[in-house]
Amino acid sequence: MIIGTAKETYRADAALLTTRPQQTWTGVLALVLIALPFTLNDYWLYLVCLMTINAVAATGLNILTGFTGLVSLGQAAFMAVGAYTVAWMERDLGTPFPVNLVAGGLVAAGIGIVVGIPSLRVKGLYLAIATIAASFILHFLFVHWEAVTGGNTGINVAPARILGTELVSYFGLYWIIMPITVLMVLGAANLFRTRIGRAFIAIRDRDISAEVLGIPLLRYKLMSFAIASFYAGVAGGLWAYFFRVITPDSFPFMASVFLLAAIIVGGMGTIIGALLGAAFMTLVPELLRFVMDWASPWLPNATVLLSPVRTIVFGLLIIGFLVFEPQGLAEIIQRVRRFFRLWPFRT
């Protein structure tokens, strides 16, 4: 049983990793992430990459919704903005991929600020609905601004290149997707050790109080939108390099719901929550495939049931977590940790 950790400085208190076991496990995780592409086949590597891209977008959404309290159902539309920017730059300018990714993030951030403007007048549900509206309007642009977006046929994206080699295999792509994700997640974790992050949390807890405390709501709400959209834009850019084609239907409205569901299931307002949620929600449909395969001897038409069962499980996960475990998977992990830490005593 670990009794506790005494911290002697503010620095130590605000550090990301405070205990020895935390540091050890983080090291193990880093090793696993490096070893992963050497051990997985294409199918699992595909899933890991998809999971990782979703994790970036979910982390962004978590900054906006989990930490600032502004609900958005438009995160996937911002991903699309990033993906289109990257695809357009790759096609018309031919700039190197890191530049494109950053540009994708910045353009998405710009659009995010515009979409965030209604947040000055409306909040809560009304804001969520405004973001739904924004995502439908963006979808219209993607279809009809043919000179840039290629209309309904979309844009084919040339593969990302490093030092003249084209990254086309999942193995190669992993080495740009994973490091960028790690950077983005670390950035998010560090954001909440700064004044800006604390201002976000104050706004979430009660925006009027925050304003009384001297936090300019306008600036910080828009900043939160900008950061969240930047994350979405970069995720969208990675998505574009991963799938190598982007069409208006690549990011349907349900993708936004998926991301919001991911942070609910993972745990709103925690960094690890977005990661767990993105991983969990990406894997569940695949695991259901194995469950259905396994059940096929008893259920004659198991394969035909797969898709509806997935839809139902998706809905049940959202409902179940909100009703029974509002803090999400992150809280379950905390409970498990507490159990081991306090063992043999009970919590």
Partner 1 sequence: MSDWLFFIEVSLAGLGSGALLALAALAFVLIYKATQVVNLAVGELLMLGGYLFFAFAAGWGLPAWAAVPLAVIGGGLVGAVVERGIIRPMLGESAISVFMVTVGLGSVLIGLVELIWTADPRTLPAFISTKPLFLGEAYVSRKIAVAFAVAAVVIGIFLLLFRFWRGGVALRATATDQAAAYSCGINVPGVFSIAWIVGCATAAGAGILLGAIGGISPTMGVFGLSALVVVIVGGLDSILGALVGGLALGLIQSWTGTYLGGEYTNVVTFGILIVALMIRPYGLFGTHEIERL
Partner 2 sequence: MFRMTRRAALGAVAGLTLAAGPALAQEEEIVIGASLPLTGVFAFAGVAIESGLNDYITLLNEEGGIDGKPVRLVYEDTGYKVEQSLAVFNKITSSEDVHFYYGDSTGFAKTIGPEIERSGDMVLAGASFATELNDPEIHPHAFITGPDYSEMVEILLEYIAEESPGATVAMINSDTEFGRDPIERTKAKAEELGLDIVLEIVTAPGAVDVSTEVLKLRRSRPDYAIFHGYVLAPLPEFITQAKELGLETQFMGTFWSMDSKQWADVGEAADGYMGVMPYRYYHDTAEDAPMLDKIREMRGVYQHSGYMQGFLSAMLMTEATKRVMASGEELTGDTLKAALNSIQDFDTGGIIGVPISIPGNSVPVGRVYRFDAAAGEMMPVSDWITLGD
- Binders of partner 2 in range 143-162 (CB under 8 A): 143, 151-154, 156, 159
Over the window 86 to 115, marking each residue x when it contacts partner 2 by CB under 8 A and - when it does not, the resulting string is ------------------------------
Instruction: For residue 31, give both structure tokens.
Output: 């090793």
| Binding-site string for partner 2 from residue 289 to residue 308, where x marks contact by CB under 8 A and - marks none | x-------------xxxxxx
Residue 207: which residues within 8 A CB-CB, separation 6 or more? 69, 123, 217
**Tokens standing for 52?**
């990782």
How many CB atoms sit inside 10 A of residue 188's CB? 22
Place of tokens 């992150």: 330
Residue closer to partner 2 (CB basis): 92 or 166: 166
Stretch that binds partner 1, among 47-55, 123-131, 162-170, 280-288 (CB under 8 A): 123-131
Q: CA nearest 270: which of 331, 222, 324? A: 331
CB of 29 to partner 2, least distance (A): 6
Cβ contacts of 92 within 8 Å, gap of 6 or more: none
Cα–Cα distance for residue pair 233/190, rounded to 1 Å: 20
Answer yes or no whether residue 202 interacts with partner 2 by CB under 8 A: no
Nearer to partner 2, 69 or 277 (CB): 277
Q: Is 280 in the site for partner 2 (CB under 8 A)?
A: yes
Does 46 participate in binding partner 2 (rule CB under 8 A)? yes
Nearer of residues 48 and 63 to partner 2, judged by Cβ: 48
Cβ atoms within 10 A of the Cβ of 20, count? 10
- Residue 230's nearest CA partner among 19, 343, 238, 307 is 238
Site for partner 2 contains 47 (CB under 8 A): yes
Q: Which residues contact 146 (CB under 8 A, 6 or more apart)?
A: none
344 DSSP assignment:
T
The stretch among 48-56, 93-101, 204-212, 332-340 that binds partner 1 (CB under 8 A) is 204-212
- Rounded CA gap, 83 and 247, in Å? 10
| d(C-alpha 247, C-alpha 245), whole Å | 7
Shortest CB 217 distance to partner 2, Å: 35
Under a CB-based contact definition with an 8 Å cutoff, are residues 317 and 281 in contact?
yes
The one segment of 38-46, 122-130, 187-195, 212-220 that binds partner 2 by CB under 8 A: 38-46
Q: Which of 3, 10, 121, 214 binds partner 1 (CB under 8 A)?
A: 121
Residue 224 and residue 200 in contact, taking contact as beta carbons nearer than 8 Å: yes
Give the interface with partner 2 as residue ranges (CB under 8 A): 25, 28-29, 32-33, 36, 39-44, 46-48, 50, 143, 151-154, 156, 159, 168, 170, 243-245, 247-250, 272, 275-276, 279-280, 283, 285-286, 289, 303-308, 310
Give the interface with partner 1 as residue ranges (CB under 8 A): 71, 118, 121-122, 124-126, 128-130, 132-134, 136-137, 139-140, 143-144, 206, 208-209, 212, 257, 260-261, 264, 305, 307-319, 322-323, 326
